[in-house]
Amino acid sequence: MNVADMLKAVSSLSWLLAFVVIGLAVFRATRNQSFKAAGSLVIGAVVVALLLSVVSAGLVFVQPEERGVVISAVAPGGYRQAALEPGLHWIIPFAENVIRYPISKQTYTMSIAPSEGTISGDDSIAARTSDGQEVLVDASVIFSIDPARVVDVHIQWQNRYTDDLVRPVTRGVIRDQASQFGVEEIVSSKRIEMTEGVRAEIASKLAENGLILVDYVLRNITFSPEYAASVEQKQIAEQQAQQAKLTVEQRKQEAEQARQTAQGQADARVIAAKGDAEARLINAEAEAKALELIAAALAGNPDLITYQYVQKLGPGIQVMLVPNDNPFLLPLPSLTPGLQP
C-alpha cells in the first residue's frame, strides 16, 4: 500500500471516529447527562477528518506501469497537458482527479476457438482471397500505449481504444491484405509476406492514434469445408504420385544394378578368356621353342633319341615282346652282349 492509499484509509477512519464522538454527544444529551468538552471534541474530530480528507484527495501515487491523466476544473481545456509519471504527486483536491492508463503490454486475440479469444465465441476474421476463396484467420495483436501520448489517447479514445481502435483496425487490415493473395499463396509461399504486410499496416495505423504495436501473431488459417476437402484430396493425390515416382525410381535403380552386375560378369568372362588365350599362346610358344631345341639336338646327334628311349625303359628289363607284324620304330641295341636284334 502506498502513502496516498494509507492516507485515504486514515481519513476514512477519522470520519468514523468523528461520527462516533458526535453520536456519543447526542446520546448523552438525550439522557440529560453532561458531557464536558463535547463541543470541542466534535469540532476537533470533524476538523481532523476534513484535513485528512483534503490531503488524501490531493495526494496521488502512480504505479511504474501506469501514467496518469489529470482531469482539471481549473486547467485550460479541462486537463493537464502532461501525464503524471510514476511516483507520488499532488493535485488540487476536489478540483482535479486522475485517470490511470496502463503502459504495459496488452494482448487482443481473435480466435475461432470460443475460449481463446478476448470475446467469447467464434471471433475469427472472415476474409476473401483474390481467387474468391473464404478463409478464417485467427490473430493476436500485442500492443501498448505510447507513454508520451497518454493524454492524446484519453482525448481520442478514453478506455475504448481496445474495442474501438485495435479490434476494427486489425480486422480491416487482415481482410485487405488477404484480398491481395490467392488461397494457396496465403498458406504457403506468400504467408510470411502477408504477415509482414499486416504487421506494417497495423503498426502505422496504431501509431497515428498513440499506440505502439509490439507484435502481430498470425495464429491460424481455416478454410471452408469444401476447400479443405479439395486440399486434402490434392495432397493425397500428390503423395500417391510421389510414391509412384519413388517406385519407378527404385525399379530403375534395380535395373541399373542388374545391368551393371551383368556387365561385370561379362567383363570378367572376357578377361578370363583373354587370360586363357594368352596362357595357351605362351604354352604353344614354349612347346614350339622346345621342339626347335629338340630338333636341333637330334640333327647333331641322331642316336640321342635312341638313348632317350632306352632311358625311359625300366632298369630291370631284359626281354621285350612285341607283335611280329610291327616294325621297330628305333633300332634297339643288343640287350645281351653278342646277341643281335
Q: Are residues 285 and 184 in the same domain?
A: no
What's the pLDDT score for residue 265?
85
Tell me whether residue 322 is in a domain. yes
Out of 53, 85, 102, a domain closes at 102
Residue 341 covered by a domain: no
Domain termination site, one of 71, 102, 133? 102
Specify the number of domains making up the chain: 3
Whether 314 is in a domain gets the answer yes
Tally helices (H) and strands (E) across the chain. 9, 8
Same-domain check for residues 95 and 173: no
Alpha carbons 208 and 220: distance in angstroms, whole number: 28
Are 173 and 247 within one domain?
no
Do both 327 and 249 map to the same domain? yes
* C-alpha 143, offset from chain centre: 23
Reading the block at residue 144, the C-alpha cell is 501498448
Check whether residue 26 and residue 79 sit in a common domain.
yes
Q: What is the pLDDT of residue 316?
A: 62
Report the Cα–Cα distance between both ends of the chain, in Å, rounded.
152
Question: Which pLDDT belongs to residue 341?
Answer: 44
Query: 202 is in which domain, residue-wise?
Result: 106-223
Contact at 8 Å (CB) between 102 and 66?
Answer: yes
For residue 150, give the CATH number of its domain.
3.30.479.30
The reported pLDDT for the residue numbered 322 is: 57
Task: Enumerate residue ranges in the chain where pLDDT < 70.
Answer: 1-4, 7, 28-29, 31-39, 41-42, 228, 230-232, 235-236, 298, 302-341
- Report in angstroms the alpha-carbon separations of 325 from 279, 313, 316, 322, 328: 43, 22, 26, 9, 10
